[in-house]
Amino acid sequence: IRKIGVLTSGGDAPGMNAAIRAVVRTALFHDIQVIGIRKGYNGLLNGEIKEMYSKDVSNVMNLGGTILHTARCPEMMTQEGLNKAAAIYKILGLDALVVIGGDGSYRGMAELAKLGVNCIGIPATIDLDMNSTEYSIGFDTAVNTGMDALNKLRDTSSSHERCSVVEVMGRDAGYIAVWCGMVGGAEDVMFPEAKGVIDSQKVIQQILENRSIGKRHNLIVVAEGVGGTQKLAKDIQDITGIQTRATILGHLQRGGSPTAIDRMHASMMGYHAVKAILEGKENQVICFNKGKYEIIGLEESLGMEKTLDQDIYNVIKILAI
């Protein structure tokens, strides 16, 4: 192994820089040359590359976003684009390509693997919606940002005796929502996995019950994958007469200096990715499951299933009385 490439792809996540740093420095430690590829798969196709030295990853651990920048890359969805990417990988003389990204980026890796590219994945998405791993880089920072927002909204909702409906990110998954709901002390959480269990009528009923027992303000979390936050706020106000405000956190949750948890996982996963390459592993992804870092075949990882532990929701309801 003499030379590897590294890129960040798909949606950005706080901690990606710590992962880049770990990949670059672990590789350099083992005398492997590292090529940084900008803007995800786009950089591979357009030749936006640059050799990375140790100093290139100085002072980046604490930064949100990604110093390599990231983007979606539609060209990768065509056979022509994939052939070109694989050809450039070979021209560059790379022995492996480390991709830091989400499930979409992993699907891109699987296509490149068919063309002889040795792809190693590091899971990074704030949404936690990757089936092969219980942790993905960025989640903890996003939840902390959500918690911070909920704390602040709680202050003002309490002063004005209002109801606050807060939409958090998560795409089609409710991980961020239930975590924010729990740690922010929300009364209720609407998340996609609970379809049929919790709906707006039940939430409104809950608000009315809580008011009848003396609660003077309300905090409701809605997952991006459920949506309809403005309408829910309006319905709550119309039906209950309680002043209700909707807040959509949106991309705020994508940014910020990564938490200790994100820096730790990113550093360890970056190290494990390079270690796997040194051991001659091909087309694998790094995972964190049952408290341990492990490595799983790329194809296998894409076929795996994971479910949100709905017990968290049951506890939120118990604690919301």
Residues in contact with ligand ADP by the rule CB under 6 A: 9-11, 41, 72-73, 76-77, 101-105, 107-108, 111, 125
Q: Is 188 a catalytic residue?
A: no
Q: Three-state SS string across the chain, please?
A: CCEEEEEECCCCCCCHHHHHHHHHHHHHHCCCEEEEECCCHHHHHHCCEEECCHHHHCCCCCCCCCCCCCCCCHHHHCHHHHHHHHHHHHHCCCCEEEEEECHHHHHHHHHHHHCCCCEEEEEECCCCCCCCCCCCECHHHHHHHHHHHHHHHHHHHHHHCCEEEEEECCCCCCHHHHHHHHHCCCCEEECHHHCCCCCHHHHHHHHHHHHHCCCCCEEEEEECCCCCHHHHHHHHHHHHCCCEEEEECHHHHHCCCCCHHHHHHHHHHHHHHHHHHHCCCCCEEEEEECCEEEEEEHHHHHCCCCCCCCHHHHHHHHHCC
Pick the closer one to ligand ADP by CB: 77 or 197.
Answer: 77
Binding residues for ADP: 21-25, 154, 185-187, 215-217
Catalytic residue among 12, 31, 127, 188: 127
In whole angstroms, how close is the CB of 42 to ligand ADP at the nearest point? 8
Q: Which is nearer to ligand ADP, 12 or 187 (CB)?
A: 12
CB of 14 to ligand ADP, least distance (A): 14
Binding site feature residues:
11, 21-25, 72-73, 102-105, 125-127, 154, 162, 169-171, 185-187, 215-217, 224, 245, 251-254
For residue 46, the minimal CB distance to ligand ADP (Å) is: 13
Cβ closest to ligand ADP, residue 139 vs residue 313: 139
Minimal distance, residue 102 CB to ligand ADP, in Å: 3
Residues assigned a catalytic role: 127
